[in-house]
Amino acid sequence: MTDRFSLDGRVAIITGGGTGIGRGAALVLAEHGADVVLAARRPEPLESTAKEIAALGRRALALPTDVTDAAACQRLVDTTLSEFGRVDILVNNSGGAEPKPIKKWSQDEFDAVIALNLGSVWHLSRAASEPMLQQGKGAIVNISSGASLLAMPLAAPYGAAKAGVNNLTGSMAAAWTRKGVRVNAIACGAIRAATLMDEADRLGLDEATLAMSNGAGRIGEPDEIGYGVLFFASDASSFCSGQTLYMHGAPGAAGV
């Protein structure tokens, strides 16, 4: 049964792959046999994670990419095909936004959050789905957020964008699953990543306070989300498509 989780011979593209959840997912997929293409804007974290993957005996390629740009997303897929010959897995992980009240957002800031968190999923999924559909098999895993399921006035544009990711996940699954390409999402709770921890420091929040938002009473670790990604990326989830899995430890006091 463990063979169902094997990714031997498969190639994964992971955005935001240099740090946090992206790095955690990249290492988990590599440990289970995948070669990995890492994409994000900053080259240094990508190169660092690529070295870790190479140390596991898998091939890795770091490609600095602006995932809000449709042409850049297409180049990412084209380069992956030219270097590795196939695309089997796409993990849309790039995203984020700073918290601020609704009235404090400028139009440019709002547009940027939508482009990063929702537009990138649209552009890259459409590009990566082409080789997947041609080979008759593939898996797309979108990293969403608990903010997509809750009313969070300090994260309104971000939550709205991630809710769009959840809906887009279902729509793409409905379009492509019968053709062999499954699409699922993971809505994450508070996970130990530099972006979250740095923002918490800025706001004067300690880890215990952050942990209160997760029913388990602790911060999640990036590799824990990585194993959720492995499930959706592998044949272990062959009968699962169009789903958004909320990974946040456990329901909180409100039952969510």
Does residue 160 lie in a domain region?
yes
Confidence of residue 256 (pLDDT cuts 50, 70, 90): low
Question: What single-letter amino acid sits at 92?
Answer: N
| pLDDT attached to residue 255 | 58
| pLDDT attached to residue 248 | 86
Does residue 49 lie in a domain region?
yes
Does residue 256 lie in a domain region?
no
Q: Is 158 annotated as catalytic?
A: yes
Does residue 253 lie in a domain region?
no
Give me the CATH number covering residue 202: 3.40.50.720
Range of the domain at 6: 2-245
Catalytically annotated residue among 120, 125, 158, 241? 158
| pLDDT attached to residue 253 | 57
d(CA 177, CA 42): 33
Does residue 252 lie in a domain region?
no
Does residue 126 lie in a domain region?
yes
Q: Which two tokens stand for residue 214?
A: 């997760």
| pLDDT attached to residue 209 | 67
**How does pLDDT run across 110-164, given as a tens digit for each residue?**
999 999 999 999 999 999 999 999 999 999 999 999 999 999 999 999 999 999 9
Catalytically annotated residue among 94, 120, 129, 162? 162
Confidence of residue 249 (pLDDT cuts 50, 70, 90): confident
d(CA 4, CA 192): 28
Does residue 250 lie in a domain region?
no
Averaged pLDDT for residues 1-30 = 94
Q: Is 137 annotated as catalytic?
A: no
Stronger pLDDT, 200 or 69, i.e. the higher one? 69
Share of the chain above pLDDT 70, in %: 89
d(CA 184, CA 169): 6
Number of domains in the chain: 1
**Of 45, 25, 241, which Cα lies nearest the Cα of 36?**
25
Does residue 61 lie in a domain region?
yes
**Of 252, 253, 228, 224, which Cα lies nearest the Cα of 240?**
228
Averaged pLDDT for residues 52-78 = 98
Q: Are strands 89-92 and 60-64 parallel, antiparallel or unpaired?
A: unpaired
- What mean pLDDT value characterizes the chain? 92
Count how many Cα atoms sit within 13 Å of the Cα of residue 154 in the half-sphere of its side chain.
Answer: 5
Q: Is 162 annotated as catalytic?
A: yes
| pLDDT attached to residue 211 | 66
* Contact (Cβ atoms closer than 8 angstroms) between residue 97 and residue 155: yes
